[in-house]
């Protein structure tokens, strides 16, 4: 584990994950875990009558995958404070491959002077490079020295 302190984060620095293909098993498992069995996700024949003509993955599934793709390194000096501004921008279909780009958008003070807030823009991209999901991840990060 590598310690990365608030001062070490650089605005506009980004990293991109490797790809992960969304499978039918992902969709079925997520429906069972979440209880969301809407026909948009589960009924292939009904979906043929709708705009997208095929099943779409749950937005919450794609959010979970995107978040997981950003969690490659454990930083003992930081922890998640939550997510803001979550948007499902484009549908994700079974067979689409998702990569996630995480960019440091902003750094700001926090009410506890030994911590700072790092805001990361998390963007899920399909195999065509189109943004399918976006959110701001707020991290509370320990400072080397209190502000």
DSSP lists the bridge partners of residue 120 as 104, 137
Model pLDDT for residues 63-94, shown as the tens digit of each residue: 999 999 998 778 899 999 999 999 999 999 99
Domain ranges, ordered by start, for the chain:
6-142
Residue 64, SS3 per DSSP: helix
- Please report which helix (H) or strand (E) contains residue 132, including its range: strand 131-142
Under a CB-based contact definition with an 8 Å cutoff, are residues 63 and 71 in contact? no
Residue 16, SS3 per DSSP: strand
Q: Which residues contact 24 (CB under 8 A, 6 or more apart)?
A: 94
pLDDT band for 147, please (50, 70, 90 cuts).
low
pLDDT at 146 over 70: no
CATH topology (fold) of 6-142: Thiol Ester Dehydrase; Chain A (3.10.129)
Look over the chain and give the mean of its residue pLDDT values, rounded to a whole number.
95
**CA within 13 Å, CB half, 143:** 14
pLDDT at 46 over 70: yes
């Amino acid at each position: 584990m590598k310690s990365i302190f608030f001062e070490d984060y650089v605005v506009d620095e980004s990293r991109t994950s490797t790809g992960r293909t969304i499978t039918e098993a992902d969709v079925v498992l997520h429906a069972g875990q979440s209880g969301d069995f809407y026909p948009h996700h589960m009924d292939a024949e009904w979906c043929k009558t709708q705009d997208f003509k095929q099943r779409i993955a749950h937005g919450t599934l794609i959010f979970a995958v995107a978040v997981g793709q950003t969690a490659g390194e454990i930083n003992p000096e930081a922890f998640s404070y939550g997510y803001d501004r979550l948007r499902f921008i484009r549908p994700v279909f079974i067979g689409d491959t998702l990569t996630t780009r995480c960019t440091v958008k902003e750094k700001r003070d926090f009410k506890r002077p030994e911590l700072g807030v790092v805001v990361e823009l998390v963007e899920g991209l399909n195999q065509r490079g189109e943004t399918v999901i976006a959110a701001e991840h707020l991290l509370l990060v320990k400072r080397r020295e209190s502000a």
